[in-house]
Amino acid sequence: MNKLLFALTLLFLVSCVSSKKYNQLNGNYQNSEKTVQTLKEQNQALNAKTLELQSKIDKQTKDIEELSSKLKETTQKLDDSNSANLRLKQFNSDLENQLNSLKAGSSEEISRLMGKLQEAQGDLQKREDILKTAQTELEQRSRRMQELEEALKQKDEAVKQLRQKVMDALLGFNNKGLTIQEKNGKVYVSLDEQLLFKTGQWDVDPKGQQALSNLAEVLAQNPDINVLVEGHTDNVPMRGTGPVKDNWDLSVMRATAVTRILMKNKAVEPKRITSAGRGEFFPIDEANTPEARQKNRRTEIILTPRLDEIFRILENN
């Protein structure tokens, strides 16, 4: 009985010690779990902090690189500025040396240089005066050139109007041995022999007299027109026994006869007209054919506007 009680007591004591140990170990385990969890959370926080710090380090590294580049650039500019400053100082030193050299020169040399300077200034003033005079003359010549151009323009217009007036006055004689053309600023009225004269004669036919009378009316209305009457013959020799002995005489007589008819109009001043015999020496067709000789037997009346205004401008130039 005592033995059993002792065994039961011993078993109870052993049982009580193991449960207490278990509870203690279990408590330690749970504390360790909590510690591990806490450490994990701290580790995650540390990782996040590490990433944040790494980002800041990267940004600072980039800023450092940029600042380093700017520092290098600034250093280069500073070096360049220093070099330029050194060159400027050297240039300034050279100028000071030159100034000192000039100051060290004799007063006679300075006087000589001043004399040359004054001489050069005087020469420059003379050249400027010459230039001004030349410019003034150029402007005057330019104005006269404009006047001349305007006068020539008016003359050309007068010639065109004159040609039209002559054509209108002699309209009925077209295709009857009459040609009118404008050339070299003049109006040429060419009348074939058949319109004015019989062969070898110098008396103007009635139909030719009418044409010349119409032309004289145009000349009377245009008093600023000078008139040259030229008689022309062919190259067939003429041997006369009367007042007309050769082609020279015949061309002169024909030109004079035409002139007299023009002068029948009292409004045509004789001093405006010139008569000339050209003989056979100014042919318009040099072929030795009947057709060519017929063309060459003609009287030309050359109408020229007076050029008094143009001559005045040219004389002023």
Cβ density class 10-40: b for 16+ within 10 Å, e for less: eeeeeeeeeeeeeeeeeeeeeeeeeeeeeee
State which residues form the domain around 222: 153-316
pLDDT digits (tens, 9 = 90+) for 150-195: 777 877 888 888 889 988 888 878 777 899 999 888 999 999 999 9
- Domain assignment present for 96: no
Amino acid at 315: E
pLDDT digits (tens, 9 = 90+) for 65-100: 777 788 788 888 878 878 887 887 887 787 777 766
Q: Is there a contact between 215 and 170 (Cβ–Cβ < 8 Å)?
A: yes
Q: Is the pLDDT of residue 315 over 70?
A: no
Q: Is the pLDDT of residue 262 over 60?
A: yes
**Which of helix, strand or coil describes residue 39?**
helix
Neighbouring C-beta atoms of residue 270, cutoff 10 Å: 8
pLDDT at 269: 93
For residue 289, give the DSSP letter: S
> Average of pLDDT values for 111-136?
83
88-92, 204-208, 258-262: which has the minimum mean pLDDT? 88-92
pLDDT at 99: 65
- Domain assignment present for 16: no
- Domain assignment present for 143: no
The number of folded domains in the chain is 1
Residue 299 sits in a domain of what CATH number? 3.30.1330.60
Which one of 65-74, 173-182, 199-208, 252-261 scores highest in mean pLDDT? 252-261
- Domain assignment present for 294: yes
Give percent of the chain above pLDDT 90. 33
